[in-house]
Homo-oligomer: A and B are copies of this chain.
Amino acid sequence: MQSLSEQGYIQQLSIDCVIFGYQQKQLKVLVPKLHFKGDFWALPSGFVFQNEDTDEAARRILEDRTGINEIYLEQFQVMGKAGRNSRAFLDRLLELNPEKLDAKQRQRKEYEWFTQRFISISYYALVDLHQVLPKKHIVDDAIRWFDIQEIPPLIMDHNQIVNKALETLRADLDRKSIAFNLLPETFTMKDVQDLYETILEKSFAANNFPKKILDLNVLERLDKKFTGAANKAPYLYRFRP
């Protein structure tokens, strides 16, 4: 494998993405598994080309895993501890993969770049889960949605990144009209309330909530949803930022 700089990337800089989806009152995160033996789950990650904006790099990494290029994303922190990567981690990767140890010296050299220190820029993304066909990247063995409460141990400090992403998403909900990015094209007010209650883990009074949301001035009201009982049918809405 060529070194990062030979591939045209900025050295020692990586991007890690927390991709949030939502389905049936459950917040989910899309997590790939690295193509090594052992349980090496890791956030979708990548590097930044010399002539590429960091936001563009994040979009490229997200598109690689989701097939979608118009994604709402937010850069929310930097992981900058000097000791966040370690040679011990590479050792563990290679130990569990004896076929890679067979050509020990060559392999060690090949993966040496992996033990460098990386400053990681963290992004979170909000997607309509139903539009995503999770795609394995060349470095992935598998990729799947996890309920946020059931995310497995991830490599390095990636679980911390998920926790901070969730904390940031919750804080951002109050200030920005972003939650709708997690919903399908059209939805009812009840769908919006379920979504907010799921993310914030609290209940809202049904008589206050619609006003609070409509006051954001980002929803367009459409026809009533067809339920068979016309007079009780709820309106459908669409997000128009």
- Partner-B contacts on A (CB < 8 A): 10-13, 48, 50-55, 57, 75, 77-78, 80-82, 117, 119, 121, 171, 175
A54, A77, A81, A82: residue with the most chain B Cβ atoms closer than 10 Å: A82
Minimum distance in angstroms from A5 CB to a CB of chain B: 10
Minimum distance in angstroms from A3 CB to a CB of chain B: 13
Known contacts A12-B10, A13-B12, A175-B171; A53/B80 CB under 8 A: yes
B80-A50 in contact (CB<8A): no
Assembly stoichiometry (copies): 2
Q: Which of B48, B81, B175 contacts A119 (CB 8 A)?
A: B48
Minimum distance in angstroms from A78 CB to a CB of chain B: 5
Q: A75-B77, A171-B175 are in contact. List 14 more A-B contacts (CB 8 A).
A: A10-B12, A10-B119, A11-B11, A11-B12, A13-B13, A48-B119, A50-B117, A52-B82, A53-B80, A53-B81, A54-B80, A57-B80, A75-B78, A80-B121
Contacts of A51 in B (CB 8 A): 82
A55 to B51, CA, bound (A): 27
A10 to B13, CA, bound (A): 10
Closest to A11 in B: B11
Closest to A122 in B: B78
Closest to A76 in B: B77
A57 to B55, CA, bound (A): 24
Contacts of A171 in B (CB 8 A): 175
A121-B50 in contact (CB<8A): no
Q: Which of B12, B53, B119 contacts A82 (CB 8 A)?
A: B53
Contacts of A175 in B (CB 8 A): 171
Contacts of A11 in B (CB 8 A): 11-12
A57 to B82, CA, bound (A): 11
A50 to B77, CA, bound (A): 20
A235 to B53, CA, bound (A): 52
Q: Which of B50, B55, B77, B119 contacts A13 (CB 8 A)?
A: B119
